[in-house]
Structure 1
Amino acid sequence: MASSQSTGRGDIEVRKFLNHTTISTLSSGYPLRLLPLPTRPQFRAALIFTLTYGGGIVAGDRVDLRVIIRPGAHLALLTQGSTKIYKTPSTELRSAQDLTVSVEPGAALVLLPDPIQPFKDSAYEQRQVYHIDPTDSNLLALDWVSEGRTALGEKWDFWEWKGRNEVWSFHPESGDGQPFKKGRLLIRDNIRLGSNDQDPREEMYNLGVFGTIIVKGPLFRGVAKAFLEEFSHLPRIGTNTRQVAQPHPSSDPKTDTKPSLTWTAASIRGFVIVKFGAKEANEVKRWLRALLREEGTVAKEFGEHSMMCLR
């Protein structure tokens, strides 16, 4: 990447204390801010907002957040609105975010942010890397991006958007001194929009948001089951039914501009991976909020505040 203006390093560590989660480490530097919510005694989880000064990331700035969730602790990472990606004077000068998380045995992470909002002529890349125990760590992670500032007529008008999600098993030699040492790669999901001279608007059909959900672990077994069961009941292409249930993009011939919520779910290597797209973010929020509330695990273990971005 080209010369950086600022790297905002953040560190979070949470531990289980009695039947609750306490924050043992919390530090951040410009442009990153970390804001914890007061612990609620009826829930086991700690809730922390990840924010940036000005609500976004300017060209050349990088956010690097590292999180350690100790055994039995529960953490929800949230935002207070979409993270804006500002215009760059050069395609070589990117905005960037790195998130590295260690979810130790019996620990749980809920990551439910608002969508990334890339402005016109922006360039952005992000990496989200999770280290887990394949049998006993718990992960529910949402990663999504919107088309830009629709009020200004923006529609996937950025230069490039690159995202990568990886999940690794713990290395046999990892410990307190090396919590992020990689073991075996379990899942890798790469997305590149606007690369190879491809117009992002053509790549995205007529969708306004696009994203991925990763579900793993015994705590979220009910969530994983809910996604798979709901998807199994959706009609497939060619059936005569409502478009909202179709697992691939389509348009109403009368409007031709507003595809319904589109999504798919699959069980892969012990994970459930969900891919979705919709014309508007609110469509996704309504769908995901309804599914999670009906299933109940997130609200019970982390509290309703953990689903703020879905309101």
Structure 2
Amino acid sequence: MTFAVNPNASLFLLPDPVTCFRSASYNQIQTFHLTADASAVILDWVTSGRRSLGEEWVFSRYYSVNEVFVDGKRIAKDAMLLDDSQIDAKPLPERALAERLRPYSCYATLFLVGPQVQAVIAELVRRYQAISVMKMKSPDKVIWSLSPITGNDYTSVIVRVAGEETEDVKGWLGEGLEPLRQCIGKDVYRQAFR
């Protein structure tokens, strides 16, 4: 799928997460073309499957690629491949996809680009800089990272989030993206993160 975002326009792509069924093979390639003064919030996330049916990380393959261009220049290309194939990585033992991804059941990648999302980026940078890294006995319910896309400035960022439950990630996104409420309105915001 290809998206074009015109001057002074914004794209807010905030879908429900992809939830693959048993043995599914999912492929997605998304390309975003923005002008220099356009903005985009691009959320790409996946769950472990239909857990209520006992389907946790039992799909065959999940492949998702996102490319972001600004004024024709690629600023980001991100690919996520989750494959249940066993890889011969001696001396490490073979492990199923579920074992490799535990304890988390939801993974999200978020791109924030452009002038309309600078308040969101500033708040996330503030929160990220306040994180202290300490060794813990058990992992947090939600972990996240934030990286600038272009150089060392934080005008465009990529955020990665992992959570034990889908609702944990949805809650984090709802809190972390709260400044978007001003851009998209409270009703659309509530619909995306309820």
- Secondary structure in 2 matching 1:117: coil
**CA root-mean-square deviation:** 1.7
What TM-score, normalized to structure 2? 0.86
- Cα distance between partner residues in 1 of 2:158 and 2:39: 14
Aligned to 1:143: 44
1:113 aligns with 2:15: yes
Alpha-carbon deviation of 1:195?
5.8
Aligned to 2:78: 189
- Cα distance between partner residues in 2 of 1:300 and 1:162: 33
Aligned to 1:53: none
Alpha-carbon deviation of 1:222?
0.6
- Cα distance between partner residues in 1 of 2:75 and 2:188: 26
Q: What is the aligned counterpart of 1:202 among 99, 114, 122?
A: 99
- Measured against aligned partners, the alpha-carbon deviations of 1:54-109 in whole angstroms (never above 9, x if no partner) come to xxxxxxxxxxxxxxxxxxxxxxxxxxxxxxxxxxxxxxxxxxxxx21101121101
Q: What is the aligned counterpart of 2:2 among 90, 93, 100?
A: 100
Moved over 6 A (4+): none
Q: Which has the larger radius of gyration?
A: 1
Aligned to 1:292: 177
Aligned length: 181
- Secondary structure in 1 matching 2:168: helix
- Cα distance between partner residues in 2 of 1:196 and 1:271: 34
Q: Which runs of 5+ in 1 are unaligned?
A: 1-98, 171-182, 244-249, 253-258
Alpha-carbon deviation of 1:169?
2.9
Q: Which runs of 5+ in 2 are unaligned?
A: 88-95
Please tell me the residue identity of whatever aligns with 1:126. Answer: Q
Structure ranking higher in strand proportion: 1
Q: What is the aligned counterpart of 1:264 among 145, 148, 154?
A: 145
Please tell me the residue identity of whatever aligns with 1:105. Answer: P
- Secondary structure in 1 matching 2:177: helix
Aligned to 1:234: 131
Q: 1:268 to 1:156 in 2, by over 3 A?
A: same
- Contact 1:208–1:280, Cα closer than 8 Å, also in 2: yes
- Contact 1:110–1:139, Cα closer than 8 Å, also in 2: yes
- Cα distance between partner residues in 2 of 1:280 and 1:143: 16
- Measured against aligned partners, the alpha-carbon deviations of 1:95-142 in whole angstroms (never above 9, x if no partner) come to xxxx21101121101111110000111001001110012x31101111
Alpha-carbon deviation of 1:196?
5.0
Aligned to 2:92: none
Please tell me the residue identity of whatever aligns with 2:162. Answer: G
What are the within-5 Å matches in structure 2 for residues 26-65 of structure 1? none
- Contact 1:212–1:274, Cα closer than 8 Å, also in 2: yes
- Cα distance between partner residues in 2 of 1:119 and 1:309: 23
- Secondary structure in 2 matching 1:202: helix
- Cα distance between partner residues in 2 of 1:127 and 1:224: 25
Aligned to 1:158: 59
